[in-house]
């Protein structure tokens, strides 16, 4: 009989286990630690910026123009001091514009807040400066021009020559 082998390690049988341990450690270092360090090296996302609705008027005007707003229209925001938090560049997500009433609702891609207001084109049309008697002929001196942003002003005459001499 042979004496018991306590405390004895066969060096030939422990080499494959040691090599396997080294391979696992190298894999861990190359995959897990490398991806962690790559994420740490990436630039952090930009911090959110808080703007007011009036700060975004150029973007709002451009979006409304693309949806049929008349050139030179006056834009009035319901809440010009409305705070909107965005990250990155301002991008309009959704535009709802009613050309007849001038009302609009704009939603940004980065925020669910709605920016509301109205856009009206300022129009000029002729009005009489004094009451005329029946049969009196309209003269050029009897006419003045009034500017308005009323949505229904388009139904009135806009050319004074159409009423002069009538």
pLDDT at site 24: 84
Which residues in the chain land under pLDDT 50?
none
Buried b (16+ CB within 10 A) or exposed e, 32-66: eeeeeeeeeeeeeeeeeeebebebbeebbeebbee
The reported pLDDT for the residue numbered 13 is 60
pLDDT of 83 reads 81
**pLDDT computed for residue 37 by the predictor:** 62
Quick one: pLDDT at residue 95?
87
Phi-psi bin for 7: left (phi > 0), alpha (psi -120 to 50), beta? left
Predicted local distance difference test score (pLDDT) of residue 134: 87
Instruction: Name the pairing type of β-strands 123-128 and 103-108.
Output: unpaired
Instruction: Give the CA angle between residues 122, 126, 132 to the nearest 5°.
Output: 150
Cα angle for residues 149, 152, 156 (degrees, 5° grid): 100
pLDDT at 155: 66
Q: Would you state the pLDDT for residue 4?
A: 57
């Amino acid at each position: 009989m042979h004496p018991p082998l306590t405390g004895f390690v066969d060096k030939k049988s422990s080499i494959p286990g040691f090599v396997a341990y080294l391979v696992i450690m190298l894999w861990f270092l190359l995959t897990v630690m490398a991806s962690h360090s790559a994420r740490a090296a990436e630039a952090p996302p930009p911090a959110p910026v808080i703007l007011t609705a009036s700060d975004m008027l150029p973007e709002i005007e451009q979006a409304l123009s693309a949806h049929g707003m008349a050139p030179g229209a006056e834009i009035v925001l319901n809440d010009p001091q409305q705070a909107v938090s965005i990250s990155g560049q301002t991008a309009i997500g959704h535009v709802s514009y009613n050309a007849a009433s001038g009302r609009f609702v704009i939603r940004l891609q980065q925020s669910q807040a709605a920016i509301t207001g109205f856009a009206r084109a300022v129009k000029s049309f002729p009005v009489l400066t004094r009451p005329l008697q029946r049969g009196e002929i309209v003269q050029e001196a009897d006419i003045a021009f009034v500017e308005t942003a009323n949505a229904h002003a388009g139904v009135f005459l806009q050319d004074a020559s159409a009423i002069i001499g009538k």
